[in-house]
């Protein structure tokens, strides 16, 4: 499996080298690269108004969700063993999930140089998936995922090399195309600007780029609800440095894989690989698990923007009883604070669904959706 936690708050120092891979083309990205950005002025972010009633209603409606991980954020769909199948869409809806988060590696499906055209076949594939999900009555969170060069990380094997001076501009032009393609969809579609900014995306750099990206989106989608998360891998610890643009149709988002020594035990993309046999959840682990949620609630109260917990989960190397306890504690911790959430993930190493058995793993499903 590849980077199965969607980069999942990878706090171990050398994790990214494993997660990003070493076989792809490496492009140095200077931190002051601004070529082409003058064409995309940022939205002001000096006086964010807090969330609109529509944004709050959408945050509530997202409810209990699931990520379609290791599918579309792979270098190509299927490269990490999974494709978006009708079976998975039907299963998510039938189980009672209210939303699906779609992590997408757009950067491997766009031309490396201007005009940065997104492959129309890939765009049509994504639109068909979104339409199928919306047709099931599900809300959809559509994001940009694993654009490694944007963070200054090595590319994965098979990724497209991009001139370092064009990386940020390309991000914005890709969002321009995505926003225009999906502008006619219902308000059950939510955009998420970027998954887990880190590295080159310092708080100042990310605040600027997010403000530019939202301005791009607003040209074609003036009212669509958009999610923005903080740096440091969408860590709640970084919320204090996140400056939301002056826009009311926004939701904040965080990820929470604490305690990391439990949730990522045995994960091969973490270096060094964490020891297995760690159970969960004693009092100390529970405190570690809930601390980020408490920080997010404090931020939400102060800024008047709702929170979506976009990723949490425990890798399959943990014992099932502990995974179930962790999952239920995270669910209850999020919901008691008024957060909607998306479990990581449907059908891979963290999966609530067994694709070989074509059935849900009932203990995990019940921890997420049961009484």
Mean pLDDT estimate for the chain = 92
Q: Which two tokens stand for residue 113?
A: 């140089």
> How far apart, in whole angstroms, are the C-alpha atoms of residue 291 and residue 97?
26
> How far apart, in whole angstroms, are the C-alpha atoms of residue 21 and residue 268?
12
Q: What is the pLDDT of residue 28?
A: 39
Q: What is the pLDDT of residue 29?
A: 38
Q: Which residues of the chain have pLDDT under 50?
A: 1-2, 4-35
Residue 288 known to be catalytic: no
> How far apart, in whole angstroms, are the C-alpha atoms of residue 162 and residue 155?
10
Q: Is 22 contained in some domain?
A: no
Q: What is the pLDDT of residue 157?
A: 81
Residue 311 known to be catalytic: yes
Run of H or E residues at 353: strand 353-354
* Total domains, the chain: 1
Q: Which two tokens stand for residue 102?
A: 């779609």
Query: Degrees (nearest 5) of the Cα angle 190, 191, 195?
Result: 125
Q: What is the pLDDT of residue 135?
A: 98
Q: What is the pLDDT of residue 160?
A: 81
The β-bridge partners of 251 are: 227
Residue in 73, 192, 311, 345 annotated catalytic: 311
Tokens 């008024």 sit at which residue?
338
Q: What is the pLDDT of residue 156?
A: 87
Q: What is the pLDDT of residue 159?
A: 85
- For 271, counting Cβ atoms within 10 Å of its Cβ (0-12 exposed, 13-18 middle, 19+ buried), the class is middle
Please report, for the domain that includes residue 336, its CATH number. Answer: 3.20.20.80
Q: Is 3 contained in some domain?
A: no
Q: What is the pLDDT of residue 95?
A: 98
Residue in 77, 196, 316, 345 annotated catalytic: 196
- Is the pTM higher than 0.85? The answer reads yes
Name which of 310, 308, 306, 293 is nearest 345 in CA terms. Answer: 310
Q: Is 15 contained in some domain?
A: no
Q: Is 1 contained in some domain?
A: no
Judge whether 154 and 148 are in contact, CB under 8 Å.
Answer: yes
Count of helix runs (H) and strand runs (E) in the chain: 12, 10
Backbone angles phi, psi at 334, to 5 degrees: -70, -50
> How far apart, in whole angstroms, are the C-alpha atoms of residue 51 and residue 251?
7
Q: Is 7 contained in some domain?
A: no
> How far apart, in whole angstroms, are the C-alpha atoms of residue 250 and residue 48?
10
How far is CA 262 from each of CA 109, 229, 294, 327, rounded to the nearest angstrom?
35, 24, 20, 12
Name which of 206, 212, 259 is nearest 229 in CA terms. Answer: 206
Domain membership of residue 186 as a residue range: 53-369
Cα Dmax for the chain: 54
Q: Is 17 contained in some domain?
A: no
Q: What is the pLDDT of residue 31?
A: 41
Q: Is 21 contained in some domain?
A: no
Q: Is 36 contained in some domain?
A: no
At 43 the three-state DSSP class reads: coil
- For 23, counting Cβ atoms within 10 Å of its Cβ (0-12 exposed, 13-18 middle, 19+ buried), the class is exposed
Judge whether 193 and 143 are in contact, CB under 8 Å.
Answer: yes
Name which of 26, 42, 19, 39 is nearest 164 in CA terms. Answer: 26
């Amino acid at each position: 499996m590849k980077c199965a936690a969607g980069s999942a708050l990878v706090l171990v120092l050398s994790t990214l080298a494993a997660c990003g891979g070493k076989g792809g083309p490496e492009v140095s990205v200077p931190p002051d690269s601004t070529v082409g950005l003058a064409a995309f002025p940022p939205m002001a972010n000096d006086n964010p108004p807090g969330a609109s009633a529509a944004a709050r209603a959408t945050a509530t409606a997202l409810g209990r969700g699931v990520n379609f991980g290791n599918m579309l954020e792979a270098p190509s769909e299927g490269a990490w063993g999974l494709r978006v199948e009708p079976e998975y869409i039907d299963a998510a809806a039938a189980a009672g999930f209210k939303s699906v988060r779609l992590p997408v590696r757009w950067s491997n499906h766009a031309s490396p140089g201007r005009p940065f055209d997104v492959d129309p076949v890939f765009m049509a594939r994504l639109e068909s998936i979104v339409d199928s999900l919306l047709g099931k009555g599900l809300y959809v969170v559509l994001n940009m995922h694993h654009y490694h060069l944007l963070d200054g990380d090595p590319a994965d094997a098979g990724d497209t090399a991009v001139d370092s001076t064009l990386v940020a501009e390309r991000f914005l032009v890709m969002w321009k195309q995505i926003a225009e393609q999906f502008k006619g969809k219902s308000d059950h579609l939510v955009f998420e600007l970027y998954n887990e900014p880190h590295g080159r995306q310092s708080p100042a750099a990310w605040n600027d780029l997010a403000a530019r990206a939202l301005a791009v989106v607003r040209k074609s989608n003036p009212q669509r609800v958009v999610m923005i998360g903080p740096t440091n891998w969408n860590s709640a610890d970084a919320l204090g440095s996140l400056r939301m643009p002056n826009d009311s149709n926004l939701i904040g988002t965080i990820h929470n894989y604490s305690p990391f020594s439990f949730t990522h035990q045995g994960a091969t993309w973490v270096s060094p690989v964490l020891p297995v046999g760690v159970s969960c959840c004693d009092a100390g682990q529970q405190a570690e698990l809930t601390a980020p949620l408490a920080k997010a609630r404090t931020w939400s109260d102060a800024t008047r923007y709702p929170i979506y917990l976009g990723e949490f989960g425990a890798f399959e190397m943990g014992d099932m009883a502990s995974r179930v306890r962790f999952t239920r504690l995270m669910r209850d911790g999020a919901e008691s604070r008024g957060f909607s959430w998306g479990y990581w993930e449907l059908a891979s190493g963290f999966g609530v669904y067994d694709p070989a058995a074509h059935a849900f793993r009932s203990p995990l499903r019940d921890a997420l959706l049961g009484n």
